[in-house]
Amino acid sequence: MIGDLMMDSNAPLARLVRRLERYAPLPAADRQAILALPAQVERIGRGRRLIDEGQQDHAVMQLLSGYACRYGLLSDGQRQITGVFVAGDVLGVRSGDLPIAAQTVSTLSDVELVKIPHTAIAALAESRAAIARALWNESILDANMACDWIVSLGRRDARGRVLALLQELTARCRDAGLTIRDSLILPLTQEEIGDATGLTSVHVNRTLMALQAEGLIDRVGRRVTLLANRPPAAARMLSA
């Protein structure tokens, strides 16, 4: 809950700069402006809500470590995870005109994050076109990933969905430098994998065991290793 020492507080914002420069460099002045943002580093435990649906004043956050997810609830209490966030990802990005959070975001593990008041970010986006564009990029990528998720849920069977989820997480953890040869620590319970893939935890369990029996994945405790590097092969289940 307590921010780190002052001298450390610039490091996380440097990471935000790196993130926002993924696709296009920022003017030096914009970089400085980001580094000068009021920011707070927090450590938060597993299973805590970061942003609530309908919340108006939520901050912009960047995950420094750990996992989080966004989800929606149905009236009968069923939960569907609509996106998983890994270290480096930015949460709560939105333009100034849509103050309402559309979905809930919650942690999937203990996390570290930087928190920035949305007013400060909004002011920056208002005056600096390159920053606005970089944040806009985040929204677009978010929408693109959501579309891939839709395709997976709509047209793949349990095996394909779980595989696709593992592949997406592996790829994103690799980008974040969190993997060792396609091996990553997956803090999700099978229940949560089910919430992400639209399956029950029971069926997730059977699917994971089947994938392991097929030699496509290896599991040791919470560490999962992807042994098949062929995304297209995942969709071909005629051999099963």
Partner DNA sequence: CGATCCGTTGAAGAGAATCAATTTGCGTGG
Partner DNA sequence: CCACGCAAATTGATTCTCTTCAACGGATCG
Binding site for its own copies (CB under 8 A): 23-24, 70, 72, 74-76, 78-83, 94-98, 100, 102-103, 125-127, 129, 132-137, 139-144, 146-151, 153-156, 195, 197-198, 232-233, 235-237, 240
CB 171 to DNA: min, Å: 21
CB 110 to DNA: min, Å: 11
Among DNA, its own copies, none, partner that 201 touches (CB below 5 to 8 angstroms by kind): DNA
Q: Which position among 100, 144, 189, 230 is part of the footprint of DNA (CB under 7 A)?
A: 189
d(CA 47, CA 69): 10
Q: Which position among 221, 229, 238, 239 is part of the footprint of DNA (CB under 7 A)?
A: 221
213 and 135 Cβ atoms separated by less than 8 Å: no
Q: Which helix (H) or strand (E) holds 202?
A: helix 201-213
Query: Radius of gyration over alpha carbons of the chain, in Å?
Result: 19
d(CA 120, CA 109): 28
Cβ distance to DNA smaller for residue 103 or 190: 190
Cα→Cα distances 164→133, 170, 183, 213, 217, Å: 29, 10, 15, 17, 12
Cβ distance to DNA smaller for residue 60 or 108: 108
Q: Which position among 123, 201, 225, 228 is part of the footprint of DNA (CB under 7 A)?
A: 201
CB 202 to DNA: min, Å: 4
Cβ distance to its own copies smaller for residue 64 or 91: 91
Q: Which position among 8, 52, 157, 175 is part of the footprint of DNA (CB under 7 A)?
A: 157
- Contact status: 227 vs DNA (CB under 7 A): no
67 and 84 Cβ atoms separated by less than 8 Å: yes
CB 14 to its own copies: min, Å: 20
Cβ distance to its own copies smaller for residue 222 or 230: 230
Among its own copies, DNA, none, partner that 83 touches (CB below 5 to 8 angstroms by kind): its own copies
DSSP calls for 93-141: ---TT--S--SEEEESS-EEEEEE-HHHHHHHHHH-HHHHHHHHHHHHH
Question: Percent helix, strand, coil in the chain (nearest 5)?
Answer: 45, 20, 35
Among its own copies, DNA, none, partner that 236 touches (CB below 5 to 8 angstroms by kind): its own copies
What lies within 8 Å, CB to CB, of 4 at 6+ separation is: 41
CB 223 to its own copies: min, Å: 26
